Amino acid sequence: MVDRISRQELKARIDRGDTFVLLDTLPEAAYRKGHLPGAINIPSDDIIDDAPRRIPDRDAEIVVYCANGPCKRSRLAADRLEVLGYHRVRDYHEGKADWIDAGFPVEAD
pTM of the full structure: 0.96
Q: Is residue 47 within 8 Å of 21, Cβ to Cβ?
A: no
- Cα distance between residue 41 and residue 107, in whole Å: 12
Range of the domain at 29: 3-101
| 63 in a structural domain | yes
Q: Is residue 64 within 8 Å of 39, Cβ to Cβ?
A: no
| 17 in a structural domain | yes
Q: Find the CATH number of the domain harbouring 54.
A: 3.40.250.10
| 41 in a structural domain | yes
- Of the candidates 49, 58, 52, 29, the residue with the CA atom closest to the CA atom of residue 41: 29
| 55 in a structural domain | yes
| 108 in a structural domain | no
Contacts of 108 (CB under 8 A, 6+ apart): 32, 33, 34, 35
pLDDT at 71 over 80: yes
Round the average pLDDT of the chain to a whole number and report it: 97
Tell me the pLDDT band of 42, cut-offs 50, 70 and 90. Answer: very high
Tell me the pLDDT band of 2, cut-offs 50, 70 and 90. Answer: confident
pLDDT, average across residues 51-69 = 97
**Residue 1: per-residue pLDDT:** 73
Please tell me the total number of residues recorded for the chain in this structure.
109
The domain total for the chain is 1
| 11 in a structural domain | yes
